[in-house]
Chain A
Amino acid sequence: MRVALFVTCLVDTLFPQVGRATVSLLERLGHEVVVPSGQSCCGQPQINTGYQREALPLIRRHTDVFSAYDAVVAPSGSCVGSIRHQHAMVARRAGDDGLATAAHDVGTRTYELSEFLVDVLGVEDVGASFPHRVTYHPTCHSLRMLRVGDKPLRLLRNVRGLDLVELPAADQCCGFGGTFAVKNADTSTAMLADKMQHVLDTEAEVCTAGDSSCLMQIGGGLSRLRAGTRTLHLAEILASTEPAA
């Protein structure tokens, strides 16, 4: 299958290893990956901060770049949530019904990574090996906007050597929330403190999730505390072939 990768601006710029892992995973499963040029940001930071007018050219560009593909995959529940649930709404509010229709159309063919693997490709065992103790944080937008449910967990349970340990109060937000993390930094940090406590309680070596943004928050806090627990995107674990010790 030919898959268009929407790598997301955050992964492209700060976490390129997540994009590379997504490519390597999909290619290992026998699919052709293309990375359409001209892609940048889905516009969610603007939309969720109130700058819908500024988001409009980003939505238009995203829709143009990806309208030619049957399947678009992104390693982010949050960006896919915005594409699927916000793009058409913002376009309609701006009175651009043509863009709304086209954006809605792209949204129906855009998938978060775990959705794509389980629902579209029908794969739960991706042939990965990762001999470490891991806990999984379900990000809010993958959980509540996309309803990915236990798909990421099903994928992780099939990884060789992986010791999956349940995260207490997993469905509680990590406190990232985009510009919320800066505009309401104190509240965001209080939420992060509880999330880190739960992560550390699991004694996991690695905390994983399907969004680099939430992992930047959790990982940024753990790094500041020198906590010794690292964060890895789900794609990085699913791409791993690290042999068992």
Chain B
Amino acid sequence: MSTFLGMPDVGHAPRGVGHLRGEEPFPAAARKALANAQLRRNIGHATSTIRAKRAAVVGEVPDWEELRTAGRDIKNATMHRLDSYLEQLEANIQARGGVVHWARDAIEANEIVTRLVKATGSDEVVKVKSMATQEIGLNEALEAAGITPYETDLAELIVQLGHDLPSHILVPAIHRNRAEIREIFLREMPDADPGLTDEPQVLAMAARKHLREKFLTARVAISGANFAVAETGTLSVVESEGNGRMCLTLPQTLITVMGIEKVVPAWTDLEVFLQLLPRSSTGERMNPYTSMWTGVTPGDGPQEFHLVLLDNGRTATLADPDGREALNCIRCSACLNVCPVYERTGGHAYGSVYPGPIGAVLSPQLTGIEDNASLPYASSLCGACYDVCPVKIDIPTMLVHLRAEHVDARRAEGRPSPEALVMRAAAWTMSNPRRWALAQRLTRLGRLLGRRRDRISQLPPPLSSWTASRDLPRPPEETFSEWWTRTRGSQP
């Protein structure tokens, strides 16, 4: 990773706060998830449904590829001048009566928000679904300060009531089916009808009734943001349920927590992203609610507005030319829905609020590679994510880059792992024709292992993890090179 002259060294997302790190490496967490048949059925069903919807609505747009290219180019251009766009955004928000706060990391952001809520005298807040506040663990910080946060997005409500963590960027309760949701509501929602059924409409109406009172009484709302327009100081949230619109308009005070990478330079840039985002994420032509606000408007909506700009490892990510495109992500989750790994393990196995392919490249960069070292390997590099990304983030290449960064960091420690020794030995052998020919002859010893059944079904570790579920062919009596030399003579 190279650091540019003048780049502020604000470091990575701190440990001990927020949800960017898992308790165990991906393979161990995945093993547990894979054994959960209900989870796999729920996620398999949900991802295949969203995949089909997305494919249908993307197929209707004749200039989809041009839109993707435009999205990528706008994001890349923005990141090159992120500092000036952020200052422009700040100036425009202040000019319209808003207050802008700069948070170096999760700890600072949580402190700022807690202080702002306390200053209003309120001990509860309503929340719009927000990845940034999940990332920093804001709900836990508020609760510790005696403030009760109420999630108002249906899926976030399910996650909150279930004392659970989100497992998908867009559909945080994707790991739950409706029977499980009914149980959670009956257990955790004091005003739920005991005769509640698991019909989706009945469940939605129960949540609606539960939340309606909060919308009408809450004095403070907390949101994230999908976009912030630098040239006007306008914030934007796109959503499906209308809960966001109510949080953004009814309370007296609105606090928005936004990652610094969400800024776009111009109002017209939204034309591109408001086409890319809904089709990629929910598979809709347009999302039902697009809310936009600029500072405060006397007599209309919140009369106090605070924007908390969050770094939490983003500047460190921006400093890596081979990794910074991860900041271009618009959180659509199309890559999760097509990922064969995510589809089978679900989101919790990634240990971060950002799961799936984008999480595997974003989380290790926000935390530093050493804290999420297993994530870049949680991919077969099949490339399905790159094909669907609305801003053309080359996730497979970035995964390969992060793997190299991890290996190079380990190399610098000077204690080579068994894997490193194998890789080094393989390269040493294969880069020399005589050594390679000898190694191939040694492979033939494997014929002994497969002599009874003409296949190899058991090998010692680490290859035992191959033969645990797969046979290997018995090595042939003659390699291709030997056959060629025997039948065609000497090689050119």
Q: Which residues of A contact B (CB under 8 A)?
A: 7, 9, 11-17, 19-20, 23, 34-38, 40-41, 43, 45-55, 57-58, 60-61, 86, 89, 93, 140-141, 143-145, 171-173, 175-192, 216-217, 219-221, 223-224
Contact = CB atoms under 8 A, between A and B. Distances in A.
B492 A13 contact: no
A140 B381 contact: yes
14 contacts: A13-B440, A13-B480, A35-B491, A48-B403, A53-B408, A53-B411, A54-B423, A181-B470, A184-B378, A186-B34, A189-B469, A216-B473, A220-B466, A223-B471
A181 B40 CA distance: 20
A7 B383 contact: no
B473 A14 contact: yes
A49 B407 contact: yes
A73 B379 CA distance: 28
Contacts of A40: 430-431, 433, 436
Contact of A61 (B379, B431, B462): B431
A34 B377 contact: no
Contact of A220 (B376, B380, B407, B470): B470
Contact of B478 (A16, A89, A220): A16
Contacts of B408: 50, 53
Given A182-B465, A192-B469, 8 more contacts: A16-B476, A41-B426, A48-B381, A49-B403, A50-B376, A60-B431, A184-B26, A190-B34
B483 A144 contact: no
A13 B473 CA distance: 11
A140 B433 contact: no
A45 to B, nearest CB: 7
A54 B483 contact: no
A34 to B, nearest CB: 5
B447 to A, nearest CB: 11
Interface stretch (B222-230, B255-263, B337-345): B337-345
Most chain A CB neighbours (cut-off 10 Å) among B419, B469, B484? B469
Contact of A13 (B344, B407, B468, B475): B475
A185 B468 contact: yes
Interface in B409-442: 411, 419-420, 423-424, 426-427, 430-431, 433, 436, 440
Contacts, number: 197
Nearest to B491: A37
A15 B472 CA distance: 11
A143 B443 CA distance: 31
Contacts of A145: 383
Contacts of A61: 431
A177 B481 contact: no
- Sort A-B residue pairs by CB-CB distance and give the 9 closest, nearest first: A177-B380, A220-B470, A50-B403, A50-B407, A144-B383, A19-B480, A173-B382, A37-B491, A185-B465
A171 B427 CA distance: 32
B491 to A, nearest CB: 4
Interface of B: 26-27, 30-31, 34, 40, 322, 340-341, 344-345, 376-384, 386-387, 397, 400, 403-408, 411, 419-420, 423-424, 426-427, 430-431, 433, 436, 440, 443, 455, 457, 462-463, 465-466, 468-473, 475-476, 478-481, 483-484, 488, 491-492
Contacts of B480: 7, 11-13, 16, 19-20
Contacts of B377: 179-180, 183-184
A223 B488 CA distance: 33
Contacts of B34: 186-187, 190
Contacts of B407: 49-52
B27 A37 contact: no
Most chain A CB neighbours (cut-off 10 Å) among B382, B462, B463? B382
A48 B423 CA distance: 11
Contacts of A185: 27, 465-466, 468-469
A217 B475 CA distance: 15
Most chain B CB neighbours (cut-off 10 Å) among A16, A60, A184? A184
Given A58-B431, A224-B469, A175 B476 contact: no
Contacts of A37: 433, 491-492
A171 B339 CA distance: 11
B26 A217 contact: no
Contacts of B30: 184, 186-187
A86 B400 contact: yes
Contact of A182 (B400, B466, B483): B466
A41 B430 CA distance: 7
Contacts of A48: 381, 400, 403
A49 to B, nearest CB: 6
A178 B387 CA distance: 20
Given A185-B466, A224-B457, A173 B380 contact: yes
Nearest to A11: B480
Contacts of A143: 383
A144 B382 contact: yes
Given A144-B383, A180-B380, A187-B30, A12 B479 contact: yes
Contact of B427 (A20, A46, A223): A46
B381 A178 contact: yes
A26 to B, nearest CB: 13
Given A144-B382, A173-B382, A188-B380, A20 B483 contact: yes
A205 to B, nearest CB: 18
Nearest to B492: A34
A140 B26 CA distance: 23
A240 B405 CA distance: 45
B379 A177 contact: yes
A16 B479 contact: yes
B455 A223 contact: yes
Nearest to A16: B480
B427 A51 contact: yes
Contacts of B423: 45-46, 49, 51, 54
A17 B466 CA distance: 23
A232 to B, nearest CB: 12
A11 B483 CA distance: 12
A16 B483 CA distance: 8
Contacts of B31: 186
A48 B470 CA distance: 22
Contacts of B27: 183-187
